[in-house]
């Protein structure tokens, strides 16, 4: 479990691990049960929606985060020679976060969907909402799944089906209409949950845009027992409940006043960001269709974030993004630049810190081929052979010029959840012995009746994916055909069309990007896709042992123990002991630079859903290179507005 602490306005947020004994002592004083401790992340040892597909590589995480500013400053001071008397009179650089400045970040905000936080689902919208709204709790680290307080403290758990949330007494909405800075209460939580469970518009008609209705229906009941406390119950023990519902990337809390005032316009008019009504560190100032500016809330209620005065998300001209970065129009340069472009920029600007960002959308192959028992393609050995036939190392070079890593059933950047690289490399398809892999592929195909009896394998490639990586479909077709001897028929189709056809029961192999995980813990995703009763279990193959392990994960509240079970699931899949139709292949690595004056919170570069960490990043405006002339856009009605 991580706890946050700050050493004042000048100190960076740090995280420390507490021993289980310390946790038990602390929880006993607070009235938290042992089940509650395990649930919030402690252990004994310390398929995408069509409209989102173009967005899945926009906000990416970092594999090796930069050193914290205090470490950087310490290194700089150790390397500096003895200062002269004149130099000693110069002001010392800041040793930690300082307030001030306007941060500028590239983000295609013109592709957002809607500003109603309960009805949005696009990645770029989520990036902005994460700074305007709070959740009850949030990930302390999205790559490990540890949780921390947000609007509420981490919940008390008198038993494994009851969660008691206590609201931070300082939490309040913005000092803007329609809430005018009032306190956030437990009744607001109840209203937010009930609104999404009801899923009706202002006219009382069913509204499918409440995309997270099913998540909130995982609560059996809830009751606000006071202005500051609310309890939730689940029908049965549900270890993924906290992270999957209240800590999920879209679990925003807004105000009843806004929903009443704006009605259906909040859903139907995507242009007016000023209708937002949140409690987060930043409030909207202007959105002109291609640029969104957020300013620090006048009554922000925590003093450990919101360092910069404002954050501007701007699309800019992607064809000129290098020149825009060099002109200080952006503080970061990564996606949509190619890695080659970033490396060239680094040669020109060696003083700019460089970072690596694992792409959260894996290249994967979907192969739900088991619908027709009369077809030889229904043999699970064929699917396994296809998965091993893909030369992952060659694919990394082909698609990402070597910047990437092979991913097992879980992507390698999910700390504690995915298998270690050494263990993963011991399985077919992931090691260095390509000859042994091809031998196993031959044996599998022979056991399934031989290539001639199996027939033609249809391979559909997403048109968007092929557009990014021309020739990638043919490369994968050749790998499969040469390794298996199968005749592979290649076809390009639209993402949306192909996914709908798979859902409707058509059977083919599909190559493209997978959806970014909503959380590190795979339990919810596996219940939907791997468990034989899952709503997204498109293959007819099943395994009673696999089902039992996933069900055990759902009821195991100790995170370390749940990870151990997850490792067993992954090893079963990699050995071929359980059918697998969703085959992750690789995750690329995006290179990036940031301006010397930007001091990013290392958590900003985690794999996904981390844009809220811009509030704990800061700018060193005293640097001579910091651009002059950054100003807030005028409000409507102001001079120049």
Residue 39: is its pLDDT beyond 50? no
Residue partners of 310: CB distance under 8 A and separation at least 6: 102, 103, 282, 285, 293, 294, 295, 296, 632
Residue 355: is its pLDDT beyond 60? yes
User: What confidence score (pLDDT) does residue 296 get?
Assistant: 98
Which of 387-391, 453-457, 595-599 comes out lowest in average pLDDT? 453-457
User: What confidence score (pLDDT) does residue 367 get?
Assistant: 92
Bond from prior residue into 538 cis (ω within 30 degrees of 0) = no
User: What confidence score (pLDDT) does residue 541 get?
Assistant: 76
Q: What is the mean pLDDT of residues 199-227?
A: 97
Helices then strands, each counted (H, E), the chain: 23, 22
User: What confidence score (pLDDT) does residue 265 get?
Assistant: 96
Which CATH code, of 3.90.1150.10, 3.10.105.10, 1.10.357.10, 3.10.129.10, is assigned to 363-589?
3.10.105.10
Please, are residues 533 and 500 in contact by the beta-carbon 8 Å criterion?
A: no
Assigned CATH topology for domain 52-74+97-330+595-619: D-Maltodextrin-Binding Protein; domain 2 (3.40.190)
pLDDT in tens, 396-416: 999 999 999 999 999 999 999
Query: What Å distances lie between residue 33 and 17, 38, 223, 404, CA to CA?
Result: 19, 9, 20, 42
Question: Domain ranges in the chain?
Answer: 52-74+97-330+595-619, 363-589
Task: Report the C-alpha gap between 190 and 438 in whole angstroms.
Answer: 57
Residue 14: is its pLDDT beyond 50? no
Ramachandran assignment for 204, one of left (phi > 0), alpha (psi -120 to 50 degrees), beta (any other): left
Residue 385: is its pLDDT beyond 90? yes
Q: Which helix (H) or strand (E) holds 231?
A: strand 229-233
Please, are residues 108 and 124 in contact by the beta-carbon 8 Å criterion?
A: yes
User: What confidence score (pLDDT) does residue 4 get?
Assistant: 35
Which of 466-475, 498-507, 581-590, 612-621 comes out lowest in average pLDDT? 498-507
Which pTM value belongs to this model?
A: 0.83
User: What confidence score (pLDDT) does residue 371 get?
Assistant: 62
User: What confidence score (pLDDT) does residue 208 get?
Assistant: 96
Residue 510: is its pLDDT beyond 80? yes
| pLDDT band, residue 53 (cuts 50/70/90) | very low
User: What confidence score (pLDDT) does residue 44 get?
Assistant: 32
Q: What is the mean pLDDT of residues 377-387?
A: 91
Please, are residues 606 and 359 in contact by the beta-carbon 8 Å criterion?
A: no
Residue 54: is its pLDDT beyond 50? no
Q: What is the mean pLDDT of residues 203-213?
A: 96
Report the chain's mean pLDDT, rounded to a whole number: 85
pLDDT in tens, 261-270: 999 999 999 9
- Top pLDDT among 88 and 524 is at 524
Residue 350: is its pLDDT beyond 60? yes
| pLDDT band, residue 372 (cuts 50/70/90) | low
Residue 187: is its pLDDT beyond 60? yes
User: What confidence score (pLDDT) does residue 386 get?
Assistant: 96
User: How much of the chain exceeds pLDDT 70, in percent?
Assistant: 84
Which of 74-83, 289-298, 562-571, 618-627 comes out lowest in average pLDDT? 74-83
User: What confidence score (pLDDT) does residue 472 get?
Assistant: 96
Backbone φ and ψ for 436, nearest 5 degrees, come out as: -65, -40
Q: What is the mean pLDDT of residues 473-498?
A: 96
Task: Report the C-alpha gap between 575 and 289 in whole angstroms.
Answer: 50
User: What confidence score (pLDDT) does residue 636 get?
Assistant: 65
User: What confidence score (pLDDT) does residue 35 get?
Assistant: 35
Q: What is the mean pLDDT of residues 127-137?
A: 97
Task: Report the C-alpha gap between 290 and 429 in whole angstroms.
Answer: 44
- Of 641, 613, 3, nearest in space to 308 by CA: 613
Please, are residues 197 and 217 in contact by the beta-carbon 8 Å criterion?
A: yes
Task: Report the C-alpha gap between 147 and 17 in whole angstroms.
Answer: 12
Backbone φ and ψ for 563, nearest 5 degrees, come out as: -65, -40
Residue 558: is its pLDDT beyond 50? yes
Q: What is the mean pLDDT of residues 587-591?
A: 95
Helices (H), 427-504: 434-447, 451-454, 463-468, 472-484, 495-503
pLDDT in tens, 316-332: 777 889 999 999 999 99
User: What confidence score (pLDDT) does residue 317 get?
Assistant: 77
Q: What is the mean pLDDT of residues 156-175?
A: 98
User: What confidence score (pLDDT) does residue 90 get?
Assistant: 53
Residue 479: is its pLDDT beyond 50? yes
Q: What's 92's DSSP letter?
A: P
């Amino acid at each position: 479990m991580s706890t946050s602490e700050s050493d004042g306005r000048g100190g960076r947020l740090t995280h420390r691990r507490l021993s289980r004994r310390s946790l038990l002592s602390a929880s006993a004083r607070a009235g938290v049960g042992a089940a509650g401790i395990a649930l919030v992340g402690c252990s004994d040892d310390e398929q995408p929606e069509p409209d989102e597909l173009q967005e899945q590589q926009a906000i990416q995480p970092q594999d090796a985060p930069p050193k914290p500013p205090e470490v950087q400053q310490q290194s700089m001071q150790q390397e500096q020679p003895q200062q002269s008397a004149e130099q000693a009179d110069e002001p010392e650089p800041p040793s930690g976060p300082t307030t001030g400045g306007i941060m500028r970040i590239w983000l295609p905000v013109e592709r957002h969907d809607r500003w109603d936080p309960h009805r949005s689902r696009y990645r770029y919208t989520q990036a902005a909402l994460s700074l305007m709204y709070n959740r009850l709790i949030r990930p302390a680290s999205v790559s490990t799944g540890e949780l921390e307080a947000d609007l509420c403290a981490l919940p008390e758990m008198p038993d494994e089906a009851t969660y008691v949330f206590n609201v931070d007494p300082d939490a309040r909405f913005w000092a803007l209409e329609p809430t005018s800075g009032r306190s956030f209460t437990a009744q607001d939580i109840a209203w937010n949950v009930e609104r999404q469970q009801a899923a009706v518009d202002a006219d009382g008609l069913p509204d499918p845009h409440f995309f997270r209705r099913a998540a909130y229906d995982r609560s059996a009941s809830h009751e606000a027992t006071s202005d500051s406390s609310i309890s939730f119950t689940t029908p049965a023990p549900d270890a993924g409940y906290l992270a999957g519902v209240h800590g999920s990337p879209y679990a925003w809390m807004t105000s009843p006043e806004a929903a009443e005032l704006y009605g259906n316009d909040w859903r139907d008019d995507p242009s007016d960001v000023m209708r937002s009504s949140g409690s987060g560190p930043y409030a909207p100032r202007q959105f002109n269709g291609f640029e969104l500016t957020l300013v620090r809330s006048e009554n922000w209620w925590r003093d450990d974030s919101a360092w910069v005065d404002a954050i501007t998300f701007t699309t800019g001209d992607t064809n000129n993004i290098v020149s825009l970065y060099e002109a200080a129009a952006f503080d970061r340069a990564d996606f949509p630049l190619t890695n080659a472009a970033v490396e060239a920029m680094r040669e020109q600007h060696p003083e700019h810190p460089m970072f690596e960002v694992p792409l959260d959308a894996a290249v994967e192959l979907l192969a739900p081929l088991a619908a027709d028992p009369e077809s030889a393609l229904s043999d699970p050995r064929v699917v396994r052979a296809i998965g091993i036939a893909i030369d992952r190392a060659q694919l990394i070079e082909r698609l990402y010029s070597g910047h990437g890593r092979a991913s097992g059933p879980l992507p390698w950047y999910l700390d504690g959840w995915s298998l270690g690289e050494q263990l993963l490399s011991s399985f077919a398809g992931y090691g260095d012995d390509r000859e042994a892999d091809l031998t196993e592929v031959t044996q599998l195909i022979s056991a399934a009746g031989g290539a001639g009896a199996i027939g033609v394998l249809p391979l559909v490639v997403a048109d968007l994916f092929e557009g990014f990586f021309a020739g990638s479909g043919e490369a994968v077709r050749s790998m499969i055909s040469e390794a298996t001897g199968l005749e592979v028929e290649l076809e390009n189709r639209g993402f949306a069309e192909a996914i709908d056809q798979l859902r409707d029961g058509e059977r083919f192999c599909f190559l493209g990007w997978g959806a970014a995980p909503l959380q590190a813990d795979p339990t919810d995703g596996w219940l939907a896709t791997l468990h034989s009763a899952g709503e997204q279990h498109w293959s007819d193959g099943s395994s009673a042992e696999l089902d039992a392990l996933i069900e055990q994960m759902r009821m195991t509240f100790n995170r370390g123990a749940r990870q151990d079970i997850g490792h067993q699931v992954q090893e079963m899949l990699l050995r071929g002991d359980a059918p697998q139709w969703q085959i992750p292949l690789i995750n690329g690595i995006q290179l990036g630079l940031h301006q010397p004056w930007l001091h990013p919170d290392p958590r900003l570069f985690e794999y996904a859903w981390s844009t809220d960490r811009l509030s704990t990043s800061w700018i060193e405006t005293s640097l001579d290179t910091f651009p002059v002339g950054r100003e807030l856009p005028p409000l409507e009605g102001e001079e120049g507005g």
